[in-house]
Structure 1
Amino acid sequence: MKELGNGNEFPGISLGITESEYLELQRTVNKQVQFNGWFTKDSVRQSLLALGGWLEKGQLENWLAPYSWNERPKRVGIIMAGNIPLVGFHDLLCVVLSGNTAVCKMSSDDKTLLPALVKALYHFLPGLKERIVLSEGKIGEIDAVIATGSNNSHLYFEQYFGKYPHIFRKNRTSVAILNGSESEAELTELGTDIFSYFGLGCRNVSHLLLPEGYDFTHFFQGIFPHSDVINHFKYGNNYDYNKAVYLMNQLPLLDNNFVLLRETEDLHSPLAMVHYHFYKNDDDIRSYLKQHEEALQVVVGKEYTPFGKAQSPGLSDYADGIDTMSWLNTLT
């Protein structure tokens, strides 16, 4: 995964697969954009690098140390989202490493990358063929379920899977708290938190908390290295559409020609737009975070998750703050 993520040529048989198998994986990575216009080569490589970084022996051992292996394996359904490449990989890892069988319902937006990687995994651990089931259709027989989707999907999950032990995830997003002392380098890193995967992930920053009187000049200078995002046709179309809608409605916007900023306390922002509002003191910040805690995935800032790290979770950084491994250990 790291070699693919770095875009390297075949490094040799030490990788554990043949050159033809590696080249086939490369082709799968490169053609993702044909299936999903958001899955550019760079986005897929970013995901592969991040996830491949988890698969180090020491990291895995430290992560798994507090947990136990399920002696009575269950069939755990995983209904995967498709907003960013391989977004369901962590759930698959949790289910397999807890001793259970993963029954994966893949998103139609991300249905070829995971099967290609799992096929390569079987070279090293052929026994996992019995414990990983990948499907684009009905999920089949299960004992428990992990489902990730929109708030509307949550109603569907409750209706069809509420009778099983479950983890249901709804829409979440992330915020950044600035105090005005951020360096240009830190703001550039914040741009990574905003624009990685074109802002489609729940760990992407979509709202800024700013001190009163904040000077946006420094912010726009800091995020400028990410201006190429506007050249992606789907992102550019969203930018143009949202700009037109807000201008026609005579709503004020800040615009630097590749992202729109709108002042509002609304947490979730449309694609190619970032919301912001001003705070007076720390109490304002705490109040806003408390008010939206059920809809927040990451808080970025000097005293929170470091700038540039929102899309770099560790193995123990569970989605929605729910310890998936502990939950799996409770299945009997």
Structure 2
Amino acid sequence: MTLETKKSKFVELGKFLNQFSSIENPSKNDVLGNDLFFDECLNLIALSQSHNGWYTPEQVCFTFQSWAKALTQEKLDQWLFKYDFTDKQPKTISLILAGNIPLVGFHDFLSVLISGHRVLVKTSSNDQHLLPFIAKYLIHIAPEFKDSITFVEGKLENFDAVIATGSNNTARYFEYYFKDKPSIIRKNRNSVAVLTGNETKEQLEALGEDIFRYFGLGCRNVSKLFVPKDYSFVPFFEAIFKHKEVIEYEKYANNYDYNKAVFLMSNFKLLDNGFLTLKEDSGFGSPISSVFYEFYENVGVLLQRLEDENEHIQCIVSDQLTPNSIPFGCTQSPELWDYADNVDTISFLLTIK
């Protein structure tokens, strides 16, 4: 299959996913495979929360919409134009996927297939249904993919390279176990926001999206705020009040109650609005329902610190304070060329021999 043909098939996948902004949307007549897959996808969305309690229909639909926006001809062309895919021998690439948010491993899956390789997938126990469904749809509209996609449950065998995502602890295991294979090993990362006190209400409302989307479970979710000395959190709390419905979700509410109780029993000083706690802390990774914050006095010194500690940081949200700043509200809508951990997956895949 040529690169252009593969891109066209992923464009068709994008059109299919675009139908599911909610489970009430009607099917479209011009979308390939709807007769076989539309109702099945609706059922999958409805059942996702029974497979993983964090995968609410609204969150799964958001994921599908995000990928629908990315899988267009224009964006695929913009992503891939700089790479040379000629004369590359197909290899088998093993993927060990996380399951913290829906379809978190899809970009790696897409990258392997678009590069002309075969993909050997070990899904997370927390996300065993969404990607196999996507793969089944792709194979239906492009049978040539059938021999290039394999899912495994047991031991990974007969592969040439690996992309594995996990915690810092599992990363040490991966690095040892796959020491003789070309690999990308992803560890824990967190995202931060740098505020100046001059943000608009709209920017702070959008920051709430960066904090609460997927209940804060993603590495692109903001888990730490850097604020100037004597910063007033009143505008922040007023702006994020629009996200108050998150406390109505039982799993989130349980985490809020538990983590707040742990903080209070430890005599930590908290700021609290009834559905989010703010705790002054030098760490990056806050627990669910909480965001850490830290004061700074000189933004230049802070930005140098963030540069020095970039191995811990996935995204920096700010009003253009750094060249790689993410706009408020956009952390969970990355472009195809926004690589996890800033590691160019396509370049890695094209160097495998």
CA contact (8 A) 1:176 1:299 kept: yes
CA distance in 2 between counterparts of 1:188 and 1:62 reads 30
1:309 — aligned with what? Answer: 330
Q: How does 1:43-82 map to 2 (within 5 A)?
A: 43-69=59-85, 71-82=88-99
In structure 2, how many angstroms separate the alpha carbons of the residues matched to 1:58 and 1:295?
Answer: 32
Shift of 1:8: 4.9
Whether the 8 Å CA contact 2:210–2:330 is kept in 1: the answer is: yes
Please tell me whether the aligned partners of residues 104 and 134 of structure 1 are also in contact (alpha carbons under 8 angstroms): yes
* 3-state SS of 2:177 partner: helix
The one of 118, 122, 131 equivalent to 1:101 is: 118
Match of 2:43 among 27, 31, 34: 27
Higher mean C-alpha deviation, range 286-295 or range 33-42: 286-295
Q: Does 1:294 align with 2:315?
A: no
Partner of residue 223 from structure 1, selected from 240, 250, 257: 240
Partner deviation per Cα, 1:22-62 (whole Å, 9 max, x = no partner): 10111011111001000001111111111121111121122
- The question of 1:37 aligning with 2:58 is answered no
Q: d(CA) in 2 for partners of 1:21 and 1:11? A: 10
- Mean Cα deviation higher: 95-104 or 158-167: 158-167
Query: Does 1:205 pair with 2:222?
Result: yes
| Structure 2 counterparts to residues 185-264 of structure 1, below 5 A | 185-264=202-281
- Does residue 171 in structure 1 map to residue 188 in structure 2? yes
Out of 294, 300, 304, the position equivalent to 1:277 is 294
Q: Give the letter aligned to residue 210 of structure 2.
A: D
Matched, 1:112 2:118: no
> Could you tell me which residue of structure 2 aligns to residue 88 of structure 1?
105
Moved more, 273-282 or 59-68: 59-68
Deviation at 1:93, TM superposition (A): 0.5
Report how far residue 20 of structure 1 moved.
4.7
- Displacement after TM superposition at 1:308 (Å): 0.2
The aligned residue for residue 4 of structure 2 is none
Q: Which residue of 1 aligns with 2:343?
A: 322
- 1:117 deviation in Å? 1.5
Between stretches 28-37 and 70-79, larger displacement belongs to 70-79
1:5 aligned to 2:5?
A: no
Asked whether the equivalents of residues 81 and 148 of structure 1 are also in contact (C-alpha less than 8 Å), the reply is yes
Of 131, 134, 141 in structure 2, the residue corresponding to residue 124 of structure 1 is 141
Instruction: Give the Å deviation of 1:183.
Output: 1.2
Relative to structure 1, the CA distance from residue 18 to residue 270 in structure 2 (aligned partners, 3 Å threshold; closer, same or farther) is: closer
Cα RMSD for the two superposed structures: 1.3
- The CA deviation at 1:185 is 1.1
Contact 1:111 1:136 in 2 (8 A): no
Question: Partner of 1:247: helix, strand, or coil?
Answer: helix
Give the superposition deviation at 1:103. 0.6
Distance in 1 (alpha carbons) for counterparts of 2:305 and 2:254: 31
Q: Which runs of 5+ in 1 are unaligned?
A: none
Report if aligned partners of 2:192, 2:225 keep a CA contact under 8 Å in 1.
yes
- Residue 23 of structure 2 aligns to a residue in which SS? coil
* Shift, 1:271, TM fit: 1.2
The question of whether the paired residues in 2 share the 8 Å contact of 1:206 and 1:267 is answered with yes
Shift of 1:6: 4.0
Q: Letter of the aligned partner of 1:323 in structure 2?
A: D
Question: TM-score, normalised to structure 2's length?
Answer: 0.91
CA contact (8 A) 1:175 1:205 kept: yes
Cα distance in structure 2, aligned partners of 1:136 and 1:256: 43
From the superposition, tell whether residues 68 and 6 of structure 1 become closer, same or farther in structure 2 (CA, over 3 Å): farther
Residue 161 (structure 2) aligns with: 144
For 1:37 and 1:143, the matched residues in 2 are separated by 35
Determine the C-alpha separation between the residues in 2 that align with 1:310 and 1:180.
Answer: 20
Give the unaligned 5+ runs of structure 2.
1-16
Output the CA distance in 2 between the equivalents of 1:65 and 1:290.
Answer: 29
